[in-house]
Structure 1
């Protein structure tokens, strides 16, 4: 069963696809994959050469999703001083 990520209608989750990680519009292409490609310095146009199904709105939602995750409160364990 396909579900969309709340607030992100282009990002979908399916338990049997990519281990339930968020994908772009039901494709076997994860949000993390697109972020990693951008992180390597590729432009959207370069990425689209390899993945022509991607649309600019997909990238916008991936960045918005990443920003929302970055705003979540979480705590890293502190290392004790020796």
Structure 2
């Protein structure tokens, strides 16, 4: 489903990363949350594409959608 995302215990401790890189999905999301734009992130990581950034966002949205929310 998420062709651009991989999780491998040998890479970044199994955290989801952009396939073929060591760039964690979490880092991309944190940069977006801090106000960076996709072009800013690509400037920092020239091997990434806009599709990689969109894949990170989509992966996170799907992960959250599957997570059980506990109200307390």
Q: Which has the higher strand share?
A: 1
Q: Which runs of 4+ in 1 moved over 6 A?
A: none
Q: Which has the higher helix share?
A: 2
Greater relative CO, 1 or 2 (CA 8 Å, sep 6+): 2
Gaps spanning 5+ residues in structure 1: where? 1-6
TM-score, length of structure 1 as denominator length: 0.79
Gaps spanning 5+ residues in structure 2: where? none
CA contact (8 A) 1:24 1:58 kept: yes
1:23 aligns with 2:14: no
Number of aligned residue pairs: give it: 72
CA contact (8 A) 1:13 1:26 kept: no
> What is the Cα-based RMSD across aligned positions, in Å?
1.4
